[in-house]
Amino acid sequence: MLKKAHSLSLVLINLGLISCQTDPDQSQMLLELLTSFTNFAISLNGTAIPYGAADQIIPALTNFLDYTEYIPLVSLIPQSNIDQNIIKELLDERSKADTRSFGLADQQISSLFNNLDQAQCYTHFSQGVAEIYSGFTKFQKIANGEDSQGVEFANYCAVETNYSFFLDNLIALLDGSGDCDLLNALYNGDPKNNFYMGWRDFMADKAGFIVMYITMGVAMETIFNLYNASLDQNQISTINDYYIAALERVIQRVIQFDQLALQSVQSTMTQNLIQLMSDNPGLSLDVFGYNFNTFTLNAIYSQLLVTLGLTYSSSDEANFYSECWNCIHATVGDYRGIAAWLGKNSASSLSSDLNLQQYVTESSSPQDITSAIWENVGDCVSGIWIFNQSTPHSVDSAFGDRIVRYNGDVYDIYVWGVQEDCLGRPAPI
């Protein structure tokens, strides 16, 4: 990345079209800014279940953070030596991100705030997006040569005197400075709408959409300031620095909440499993496990692999024994469940021909079997579940070759392990 942008020599001509002299360094910095922003926009998912979105959005957002100081260079687009086809391609990609993301973002943010009795917060979102979209589309006509004199944009600047107010409200949704803390609401989720606690893909995708609009809004703010004849260069720089700092603060907070989601899996998965059990009574264990592990828990925690074990809550607890790392359990309504997780990119520590039957004797208790497995298979075992065959149970697993099963006359045994987690024997759950 190039060093700090050179000071810009800017004058206004005709109806406000900005003219400037650009040097190669400025054009290169501008292209890097636009490319980084476009890559971030491309990373936005926009679907109802944005599986894996956070792993695309957060790195792109982190990269874009390195370029935010160059946002005032956006005013140089019409005079830069960047190929016009490149400018058009970058703007088109941003437009595609907007098209695929806006509808669901608008609907879901509305639902989220309405269920929190904060309808005014959705109004801040709606007004901010509408205001910024209108201004950006007019500037885009300058950038792509449709309005070379900048007439539409100049008129917009003259009329929209409350622009900064709408931008400030949109920023406040993500920076936590006011009563409308969207990031906190996204993290906490909304069970009524199947927005789950700690769902980092959902959180990153919706917050990312707003970051895209705040970035567009800050870029337009820096250009508005050039059209304001009452501001001198020092005042323009002060205002620009304020809004760029606000954008950077927002991006950093989005990244912090993503880290929070990664670090709070134990608590959020417990809460989500409780919610799923409470909302879906009366299903068979297989149906519950297949639907709400395969299609829910493994979607919420897309960075992980989740296995869910179930018995009925009416079953004798003595008929299930468990020792595992990274697992949670809950009993609600009809179900008693235990969920365990592994890293998605982990590698199995278990031999594919591991014979669990050798650790089972006629007189073995679950504790005896578990001790034998730990002693003989090694410290890279991550967990062991043992179900008594007489107890109805179901296990739905995403562990693939990381888990080995044994179905015997008395016990069903599940053992899993990965090379990355050689933690030794945990306490029983």
Q: Which tokens belong to 51?
A: 């599986």
pLDDT at residue 10 above 80?
A: no
Alpha-carbon span 296 to 291, nearest angstrom? 7
pLDDT at residue 224 above 50?
A: yes
Mean pLDDT of 162-185: 96
pLDDT of residue 362: 86
Mean pLDDT of 325-336: 97
Alpha helices in 69-143 (DSSP H): 84-115, 119-143
User: Residues 65, 251: contact at Cβ < 8 Å?
Assistant: yes
Q: Where are the domains of the chain?
A: 10-263, 290-416
pLDDT of residue 173: 98
> Which residue type is seen at 373?
I
Query: Percent of the chain, pLDDT > 70?
Result: 95
For the chain, give the mean pLDDT: 92
pLDDT of residue 23: 67
Of the candidates 411, 425, 256, the one whose C-alpha atom is nearest the C-alpha of residue 320 is 411
pLDDT of residue 352: 87
User: Residues 166, 132: contact at Cβ < 8 Å?
Assistant: yes
Predicted confidence band of residue 18 (pLDDT cuts 50, 70, 90): very low
pLDDT of residue 339: 98
Each residue's pLDDT tens digit, 61-92: 999 999 999 999 999 998 888 998 999 999 99
Each residue's pLDDT tens digit, 101-121: 999 999 999 999 999 999 999
Alpha-carbon span 221 to 157, nearest angstrom? 10
Cβ within 8 Å of residue 170, ≥6 positions away: 124, 125, 128, 129, 132, 210, 213, 214, 217
pLDDT at residue 9 above 50?
A: no
pLDDT at residue 54 above 80?
A: yes
Say what the pTM is: 0.92
Mean pLDDT of 204-215: 98
Query: Percent of the chain, pLDDT > 90?
Result: 86
User: Residues 419, 346: contact at Cβ < 8 Å?
Assistant: yes
Mean pLDDT of 225-230: 90
Strand order in the sheet with 403-407: 320-324, 383-388, 411-416, 403-407
pLDDT at residue 22 above 60?
A: no
